[in-house]
Structure 1
Amino acid sequence: MTRAAFFDVDHTLTTSVGLFRFLSYWYAATGRPPHEYVRARQRFKAMTATGIRREETNRAYFSLYAGADRALIDRLAQDWFTAELTAGGHFNEPVLAALHDHRAAGDVIVLVSGSFPALLEPLADQVGAHHILCSEPETDPVTDTYTGRLVHRPHQPMIGRAKADAVRLLAAAHRIDLGTSTAYGDHVSDAPMLETTGRAVRVGCDPTLRELGARSGWGYLPGAPDPHPLPAPAVRLTPERLVP
């Protein structure tokens, strides 16, 4: 049996919420005025404030990509990730150090996130992750554009209990011993995933995780510091250049 380490991404391994950092970057790169991003961000904050579950806000987020060219998003996501690395401060260093320790010990590294492949694949390459479990936007097979929906399969979106279920499925498929594995997360929605492994590490100061961790003997790592300012896009695309 193999041992693994499962990492939530936003505010656990990285210092920011990549979905919104990239949304701002994409809007700027494609010439949308700043108020469009502000309006979108305020909409999601209002949804959270009124108690709408993370699963539903995640679905609403991906509706913003309806009609977007998948190859263009992939290209801009790589540009964005490179810009974040250049600016510095993208990683929560204590958690990144833990990831490196797991890799050195021969553990399988798995990123588990509500984000999507375009944003997570460059990150996985950078840190040497072996698997990505994430939300998966649906694409139109004819136009290769996003439909604004998630694929119709289990564990979508990759939030809350879906993370735990996907971790168990991956473990069964790859002969991973969850009893000797470790999971890392920063938010109460990560609790089901943290409870699937023999060792769990809460990251930051979520009060519910603090209480659960105290009862369960979970480890602790500091929360992510504030991210550096968002880098501006290197290239701004005019409408006639919105092709990959």
Structure 2
Amino acid sequence: MTVLAATETGIQAGAGGAGGVHRPAYLVFCDVDETLINCKSMFEFARFQRMRRYGDAGARWYEELAGELRRQSAAGAPREAVNRSYYRAYAGESAETMTTLGRAWFDLASREPGFFIASTVAELDRHRAAGAEVVLVSGSFAPCLDPIAERVGARHVVCTTPVVQDGQYTGEVPEPVIGEGKRAAVLRLLAEHPGVDPRDCFAYGDHPSDFPMLDCVGHPRAVGDDPAVREHLARRSAGVANSGCALACWSMGRDEHSEGCSGDCALPLG
């Protein structure tokens, strides 16, 4: 698995390195929280790791953090700013300890029925069987995402990566992978796969902040029932002249060759 991290200059390969020989049939970009899993990984992990280490004091720390982030969001702070505030709460934490706790959180959480969204997992399995590479794209970070990626067979993880000095988080992040950060990440990874046509690629998301990612590929998919996401995909579908594709083909995880679709969608890349 190649781990990719957002940096000030874009996306760089992590220690796994990118396979220079393998050429996927296409790429599938998938958001994680409430698209692939039925929770918000960053919040669930924050609660778990603090309570595991500090008991009731850890629970109070989590409630204070969650309350502050909710206040920022209610006041209209951009999601990128809220994301940065989350990571500032980890200043001084050991990166190694967070990685260990991330796996412990996943081992426990993934045993719960419904942790994964089964329909999304099935779609990713179908794409991998067709020769695609799966890319997880998230504002969350590697301690939460790496175990998820391994479970679903994702070849790449594109995520927010806290700055580490002397083995500890500084509390800063170069660039959150949210909104336009997702677009930049997706475009950079596409550029690193010159044999892959973006019009052949898929993307899955559940929130308007996923629009920049969804607009990079030929086959966007909505997970869940957010009306803004449905409307966005409906407008995009309507803008493709004579495509013959209904909204269902775009947003319900159906293949272009399923009933009601012409299968000849030539889509704009946003």
User: Which TM-score band applies after superposition, normalised by the shorter structure?
Assistant: 0.7 to 0.9
Could you tell me whether the CA contact under 8 Å between 2:47 and 2:58 is conserved in 1?
A: no
The residue number in structure 1 matching 2:129 is 104
Find the residue that maps to 1:86 and give its secondary structure: coil
Q: Which amino acid aligns with 1:99?
A: L
The residue number in structure 1 matching 2:169 is 146
Could you tell me whether the CA contact under 8 Å between 2:38 and 2:116 is conserved in 1?
A: yes
Q: Which amino acid aligns with 2:228?
A: T
Aligned residues: 216
Question: What's the CA shift string for 1:89-132, capped at 9, x where partnerless?
Answer: 21111111111111111101000000011111111111110111
Distance (Å, rounded) in 1 between the aligned partners of 2:113 and 2:93: 28
Distance (Å, rounded) in 2 between the aligned partners of 1:187 and 1:61: 19
Find the residue that maps to 1:110 and give its secondary structure: strand
Q: Please tell me whether residue 113 in structure 1 is matched to residue 138 in structure 2.
A: yes
Could you tell me whether the CA contact under 8 Å between 1:95 and 1:221 is conserved in 2?
A: no
The residue number in structure 2 matching 1:208 is 228
Which of 85, 88, 96 aligns to 1:71? It is 96
The residue number in structure 1 matching 2:184 is 165
Could you tell me whether the CA contact under 8 Å between 1:160 and 1:192 is conserved in 2?
A: yes
Distance (Å, rounded) in 2 between the aligned partners of 1:67 and 1:33: 16
Find the residue that maps to 2:220 and give its secondary structure: strand
Q: Give me the TM-score of the superposition, normalised by structure 2.
A: 0.77
Matches within 5 A, 1:1-244: 2-31=25-54, 32-140=57-165, 142=166, 144-151=167-174, 156-175=175-194, 176-217=196-237, 219-221=250-252
Distance (Å, rounded) in 1 between the aligned partners of 2:216 and 2:71: 32
Identity, in percent, stands at 37
Question: What's the CA shift string for 1:5-56, capped at 9, x where partnerless?
Answer: 1000000011000000000001101113422211211111111111100000
Displacement of 1:68 after TM fit? 0.4
Question: What's the CA shift string for 1:204-224, capped at 9, x where partnerless?
Answer: 1222211111112352249xx
Higher relative contact order (CA closer than 8 Å, sequence separation 6+): 1
Distance (Å, rounded) in 2 between the aligned partners of 1:104 and 1:182: 14
Could you tell me whether the CA contact under 8 Å between 1:108 and 1:129 is conserved in 2?
A: yes
Question: What's the CA shift string for 1:149-206, capped at 9, x where partnerless?
Answer: 013xxxx100001101111110111223211000000000100110110010011122
Q: Which amino acid aligns with 2:205?
A: G
Displacement of 1:69 after TM fit? 0.7
| Runs of 4+ off more than 6 Å | none
